[in-house]
């Protein structure tokens, strides 16, 4: 068996797609899932039951694992999840703050973090869908 020194093996470079932010959405979903689990395990008062928090965390991680530039449908799923997270946690954060909860209370900080993570995920998911919709054959 001989080895040909003239043959080189390289990993092909990833094609950069304009306005594709799926990797950012993946990261935000996994971080959100971790925050949910940490919040629930520290008995933070979040607007989900234990089963709900674990289920949402699992769904976020599953969706993050599926996101890729070739399957358009998963970006719509991530958009819906980001909208729901933004509404749920954003509303809860504003209600708690207006209700007199300290801005430094652990429960409020978890909810606020989830609202901000969801809002960023919504932004990046929307940018990705926009990029897919305006993409040309040259891209």
Q: Does residue 3 register a pLDDT over 90? A: no
The predicted structure's pLDDT at residue 18: 74
At 14 the pLDDT is 62
Residue 95 has pLDDT above 60, yes or no: yes
For residue 5, what pLDDT is reported?
A: 61
What stretches of 48-105 show up as alpha helix (H) in DSSP? 50-66, 72-98
pTM value?
0.85
Whole-number Å distance between alpha carbons of 25 and 31: 10
Tokens of 84: 């729901």
Within its chain, how far is the Cα of 2 from the centroid? 48
Percentage with pLDDT > 70 across the chain: 86
Over range 97-125, report the average pLDDT.
Answer: 95
* Half-sphere exposure at residue 95, Cβ-oriented, CA atoms within 13 angstroms: 11
Task: State the maximum Cα–Cα separation within the chain, in Å, rounded to a whole number.
Answer: 76
Question: Pseudo-torsion of CA 3, 10, 27, 33, nearest 10°?
Answer: -20
Look at residue 77 and tell me whether its pLDDT is greater than 70. yes
What are the tens digits of pLDDT across the range 16-37?
677 899 999 999 999 999 999 9
Identify the band that residue 134 occupies on the pLDDT scale cut at 50, 70 and 90.
confident
Residue 39, both tokens:
């919040």
Give the H/E segment covering residue 107: helix 106-134
Residue 85 has pLDDT above 70, yes or no: yes
């Amino acid at each position: 068996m001989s080895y040909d020194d003239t043959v080189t093996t390289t990993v092909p470079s990833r094609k950069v797609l304009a306005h594709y932010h799926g990797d950012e959405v993946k990261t935000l979903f996994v971080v959100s899932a971790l925050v949910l689990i940490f919040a629930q395990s520290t008995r933070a008062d979040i607007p989900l039951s234990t089963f709900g928090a674990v289920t949402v965390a699992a769904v976020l991680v599953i969706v993050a694992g599926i996101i890729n530039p070739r399957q358009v449908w998963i970006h719509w799923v991530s958009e819906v999840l980001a909208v729901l997270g933004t509404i749920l946690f954003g509303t809860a954060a504003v209600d708690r703050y207006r209700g007199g909860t300290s801005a430094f209370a652990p429960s409020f900080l978890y909810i606020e973090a989830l609202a901000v993570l969801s809002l960023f995920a919504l932004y990046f998911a929307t940018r990705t869908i926009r990029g897919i919709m305006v993409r040309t054959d040259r891209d």
